[in-house]
Amino acid sequence: MFVNKKTALITGGASGIGKKTVIHLAEKGYQIAINYRKSESEAICLAQHIKDRYGVNCIVVQGDIARKEDCVRVVNETLSVYKTIDVLIHNAGPYIHERKKLTDYSLEEWDYLINGNLNSVFYLSKLVIPIMRKQSWGRIITLGFDRVESAPGWVYRSAFAAAKTGLASLTRTIAIEEGEHGITANMVTPGDITNEWKEKSIQESRTALESNKASRREGTGEDIARVIGFLIDEKSDFITGSIIPVTGGFDVLGKIFKQ
C-alpha cells in the first residue's frame, strides 16, 4: 500500500481530456488511478508512461461508471492499493453523436446517458465523500458544457443536457453540504474542443495558429487539465460551488443554434 501522497481517481482517464488531466496531475506528483471502460491497452500504456516519466504510482481500474456495481468495484480496487482517494474527477460521460430528438431516443439510450452523466456522480461521490470527511480534505471535480448553469435547451442533445444540468446543481449542493468537512466541489465546462485537440497541448495550438493552420487558437485538453489542477490545489479551498467555463470566449451553444 502506498501512503502519504494524495491520490486522484479520474474516470475515463485513458484518452482525451481525461488523459491530459492524468498527465497534468502526475506532473504535480499525485498518485493516479485511471478508470477506463473499454480502452484497456491505452490505459495500461498511459499508466506505464506516467510511472516512467514522472515516477509516481499509477494504477488502472476497469469499470463502466454508468453501472452502480462497477462504481463500487472501481472505488474498492483503488482503495486496495492506495490509502485514500483525495481527489475525484468525474471526467467520463457517455455521449451520443447522432443528432436525434427526444422522441427518437430509445429507453436504453436515455437511461445510459442519465446514469453515466448524473447518477454515476452520485454513486461515486457517496462512496468517496465519507473517506474525504475522515481526513477533513477532499476535491471533487465534474465536467459540464457551456452555460449549463442556466439550464439551456440543447436541440438533439436532450438526455445529455438534462443530465449535465442536473449535475451542475448536484455539484453545487455537494459544495454546500461538504464545506464543513474541508471538501470542495466545482464544475469545469469545456468549450468546443474537437477530438483532434483533446490530447494536444497549448503549445501545439499556438503553433498551429502562428503557422496559419488555424483561424483561431484551438482549445485543448491541456487547457482543461490546467484548470482542474488549479481547483484541486491546497490553496484553492475558497473556490467551491463554482461552474467555470473554459471556452476561449466562444459561444458554443450559439453556434449550434445558428446551424
| 167-198 pLDDT, tens digit each | 999 999 999 999 999 999 999 999 888 888 99
Is residue 210 predicted with pLDDT exceeding 90? no
> C-alpha angle 243/71/2, rounded to 5°?
90
pTM of the model: 0.93
Is residue 30 predicted with pLDDT exceeding 90? yes
Cell numbers for 62: 476497469
Are the C-beta atoms of residues 14 and 42 closer than 8 Å to each other?
Answer: yes
What tens digit of pLDDT does each residue of 141-167 get?
999 999 999 999 899 999 999 999 999
DSSP-derived secondary structure for 193-226 = --HHHHT--HHHHHHHHHTTS-SSPPP-HHHHHH
pLDDT for position 1: 45
Cell 447522432 belongs to which residue?
A: 98
Architecture of domain 7-258: 3-Layer(aba) Sandwich (3.40)
Domain ranges within the chain, ordered by starting residue: 7-258
Are the C-beta atoms of residues 88 and 140 closer than 8 Å to each other?
Answer: yes
Range in 43-47, 182-186, 192-196, 226-230 the model is least confident about: 192-196
Per the prediction, the chain carries an average pLDDT of 93
What tens digit of pLDDT does each residue of 93-138 get?
999 999 999 999 999 999 999 999 999 999 999 999 999 999 999 9
Output 102 or 3, whichever has higher pLDDT. 102
Is residue 256 predicted with pLDDT exceeding 70? no
Confidence bin at 255 (pLDDT 50/70/90): low
Confidence bin at 4 (pLDDT 50/70/90): very low
Task: Provide the sign of the torsion angle of the four alpha carbons 80, 82, 84, 88, taken in this order.
Answer: negative
Is residue 205 predicted with pLDDT exceeding 90? no
